[in-house]
Structure 1
Amino acid sequence: MLDATFTQDTPISPVDWPMDRETKDSGWRPPAGTRVISVDDHGMEEEGLWEKRLSGADKGRAPKLWQDKSDNRWHMTVDGMSYDVPGIESHIGEGRPGFWDAKERLKDMDAEGIDVSLFFHSRAMSLVRLEDKAFFTRCMDAYNEWLAETCAANPSRLVGVGILPTIYKPEDTAAYIDKLKGWGIKALEIPSAPKNVPYNASAMEPMWEAIAASGIPVMFHVGAYLEFRGKGATGANLTKNLGPYRPLWSLLAFSGILERHPNLKVVFCEGGFGWVPWTLQDADRIYQVYETEMKPKLQELPSYYFRRQCYSAIMSDDVGLKLAKEYDLTDNMLWSCDYPHGESVFGESRNEIKKIFDVLGEEKGKDVAGRNAAKLWNL
């Protein structure tokens, strides 16, 4: 088992890539009545998705997505430019058949003891880089329709996370969410760091209003960015990419977005939970020390709004579990496998769920393993 707890004597123990992993089953099972819900898993979009589903002039410039059958590597290009994930060979996180084959995916879920999986994109969100934002929206229409159809084949187990493209036209958000609901989409995501989109701007208010009114939580997911190059860059980039939420949550809190929209629920995926307590501690102190300079004024300290309406998902997070228990934040914690990426706990999901119960006990364990998620998405 991968030991996420760091100590001076922790050995280097390389982990197999997901395509080579087998489920490790110790025989332990969660207490009766436990429903295990992974809130962050991924599936590869259909090969040729945009070429098949876009029409008219869009078809000629559609993003091209294909799998090289000789090595199972996936590739995507737009206008001849590669949109492959930078720095990492695609088969490392995309080489397991369940990534593109729903039947194989359900077999893996059964083996891991996962009842329900929230189904994120693989390549679709990278299209946020497109300069033509109307074209981006049409590409997301095609993706969201495909996602809805894919998950409709197993609606009790696969919950599609639709991409909300209206960050560029916030006034269209309510209508777009209605369209997502019409397709059967129950979850939605917006980019965590879109270029030139200030989420705290007044122009974004219609988007926040519409999301809050929809009753659907908004999800953020970490991205794949290359800030560092040269020696050590892979490790530095991956470590940085897993920790983007301190500034993002702070903006939502200090700007008053969370206060103005008490029904807005926000979910942070793949960043773990260790960041939460120390961020809340610092945010509260910053607000009080600089209170005279704070605009807008909040009615409560920033940490209040996280406890009321924010959630963060763990995979393997021994530190986060202990801190959540110590600071009474388990109601704000969710769990995910992150299937089938390299940093996922696929192969160890049952053992990771056992850790949750070992640390938190039966009732709080059930909350984190799935009950909190079931309440959030009415599953």
Structure 2
Amino acid sequence: MSIVSATPWPRDRVIPPSEWKRPEGLRVISSDDHLMEIPHLWEERLKGADKDRAPKYWQDETGFHLTVDGQSYDVPGLPPEFPEGREGYWEVDKRLADMDAEGIDAAIVYHGRLNSLIRMPDKDFWFRCVDVCNEWAAEWKDAAPDRLFPVALLPTFFWPDRTKDYLQKLKGLGYKAIDIPVNPKGVRYNSLSMDPMWAAIEESGFPLSFHIGAYLHYSGRGSLGANLNANLMPFTGLFGQLVFSGVFDRFPGLKVVFTEGGASWVAGTLENADKVARDYASELRPKLAHKPSWYWFNHCYTTFMEDDVAMENIGRIGADRVMWSTDYPHPEGVMGNSDAILKGIYDKVGDAAARKILGENAAQVWGI
């Protein structure tokens, strides 16, 4: 007999009526939700020779499916009708109804299946696939432009010199948010060759999100749980890479959002990074202008869904560095339980900090 109680899959969750009277003027912004791209997106929007080799993407009674050159890009180990089964994932009216039911005023919305295309070997073709998807999502937001804020995948980390021009395109499309993968194969974010990308992002004013990804670290028995456990808390190393390579010293206007990795990792990471900087100061290259924790409080943010440990340590993490989300409509998300979680945050941190965490920080970071 299992000792773990099962949370219903998103398609089966019921959003209960609110039992908590929210404080006057509270604006709730989910800092990490998701959308599902429309079927046949790449087949219909790519042009010329690209159309003939476009990723095949469709929906049937079992869910959404994606193949590239005949190879399945579906997530192994999960039946797609379960994690991708809630209709608000792809139908805007039903999404907005779910947001209304949970009292979510606005949402920062990341892509669904687009991110898996990074496995494509032809990176120039991949760039064009990302581009047409970003164009489509810019149109998608027009259904509720004051509530839905899609995040553009920035596809220039393989070609840093392309970043400035592409960011201008994204601004023209009306984007306020961009993201890049945590650990793309063959890319070293600590390399000086990436500086044209960091410089362009800093100049653009876009905050840069790193969203967790589905990396297959393990295989065999228990691998689904092991991979999810690793993927949902990946940011300690990335924070260290950005800090100790001097990225924030070289680009003091850069703002970074660590997305869907929770917030409890921050306190221990800062303590450990400061200790490393102190104990190995004579050997570290480059030399840092500040303690690692300083960069956190001046450059970084993180998002979470339900994190009691973080709320209990909010003084060490910073109430102005943390942003709440529902992660709609993923299985690990909290859709259907938001009311209780919001009340719990208020009870733990108080009104001023809770207002920042539940909406004010996100509004400031993304200018919404």
Give the shorter-chain TM-score range. over 0.9
Match of 2:16 in 1: 24
Q: Is the 8 A contact 2:130 2:155 kept in 1?
A: yes
Q: 1:129 to 1:122 in 2, by over 3 A?
A: same
CA-to-aligned-CA distance 1:4-58 (integer Å, 9 cap, x gap): xxxxxxx632111110001133421321111111111111101100001000000
Match of 1:115 in 2: 105
- Match 2:356 to one of 332, 357, 367: 367
1:238-257 equivalences in 2 (<5 Å): 238-257=228-247
1:107-256 equivalences in 2 (<5 Å): 107-256=97-246
Kindly provide the amino acid, as one letter, of the partner of residue 236 in structure 1.
A
Match of 1:289 in 2: 279
CA-to-aligned-CA distance 1:120-150 (integer Å, 9 cap, x gap): 1111011111221111111111000000000
Kindly provide the amino acid, as one letter, of the partner of residue 75 in structure 2.
V
Determine if the alignment matches structure 1 residue 12 to structure 2 residue 11: no
CA-to-aligned-CA distance 1:177-218 (integer Å, 9 cap, x gap): 000011111100011110010011111000001111111100
Q: Is the 8 A contact 2:180 2:209 kept in 1?
A: yes
Match of 1:336 in 2: 325
In the alignment, the residues of structure 1 paired with residue 226 and residue 107 of structure 2 have an alpha-carbon distance, to the nearest angstrom, of: 29
Kindly provide the amino acid, as one letter, of the partner of residue 146 in structure 2.
S
Match of 1:348 in 2: 337
Kindly provide the amino acid, as one letter, of the partner of residue 107 in structure 1.
A
Per-residue deviation, 1:232: 1.9
Tell me the secondary structure at the aligned position of residue 188 of structure 1. strand
Per-residue deviation, 1:262: 1.6
Q: Is the 8 A contact 1:259 1:298 kept in 2?
A: yes
In the alignment, the residues of structure 2 paired with residue 281 and residue 339 of structure 1 have an alpha-carbon distance, to the nearest angstrom, of: 32
Per-residue deviation, 1:340: 0.5
The alignment's C-alpha RMSD in Å is 1.2
Kindly provide the amino acid, as one letter, of the partner of residue 7 in structure 2.
V
Match of 1:7 in 2: none
Tell me the secondary structure at the aligned position of residue 352 of structure 2. helix
Q: 1:363 to 1:58 in 2, by over 3 A?
A: same
Q: Is the 8 A contact 1:18 1:95 kept in 2?
A: yes
Match of 2:54 in 1: 62
CA-to-aligned-CA distance 1:258-298 (integer Å, 9 cap, x gap): 12212111001111011101000000000110001110001
In the alignment, the residues of structure 2 paired with residue 365 and residue 95 of structure 1 have an alpha-carbon distance, to the nearest angstrom, of: 31
Determine if the alignment matches structure 1 residue 81 to structure 2 residue 67: no
In the alignment, the residues of structure 2 paired with residue 183 and residue 168 of structure 1 have an alpha-carbon distance, to the nearest angstrom, of: 22
In the alignment, the residues of structure 2 paired with residue 328 and residue 229 of structure 1 have an alpha-carbon distance, to the nearest angstrom, of: 34
In the alignment, the residues of structure 2 paired with residue 92 and residue 330 of structure 1 have an alpha-carbon distance, to the nearest angstrom, of: 34
Per-residue deviation, 1:330: 1.1
Of 233-242 and 48-57, the range deviating more from structure 2? 233-242
Tell me the secondary structure at the aligned position of residue 183 of structure 2. coil
Q: Is the 8 A contact 1:29 1:350 kept in 2?
A: no
In the alignment, the residues of structure 2 paired with residue 29 and residue 346 of structure 1 have an alpha-carbon distance, to the nearest angstrom, of: 18
In the alignment, the residues of structure 1 paired with residue 311 and residue 183 of structure 2 have an alpha-carbon distance, to the nearest angstrom, of: 27
Structure 1, unaligned runs of 5 or more? 1-10
Kindly provide the amino acid, as one letter, of the partner of residue 12 in structure 1.
V
Kindly provide the amino acid, as one letter, of the partner of residue 268 in structure 1.
F
Match of 1:275 in 2: 265
Identity %: 49
TM-score after normalising by structure 1:
0.95
Q: How many pairs are equivalent?
A: 367
Kindly provide the amino acid, as one letter, of the partner of residue 29 in structure 1.
K
Kindly provide the amino acid, as one letter, of the partner of residue 323 in structure 2.
L
Tell me the secondary structure at the aligned position of residue 165 of structure 1. coil
Match of 1:95 in 2: 85
Structure 2, unaligned runs of 5 or more? none
Kindly provide the amino acid, as one letter, of the partner of residue 372 in structure 1.
N
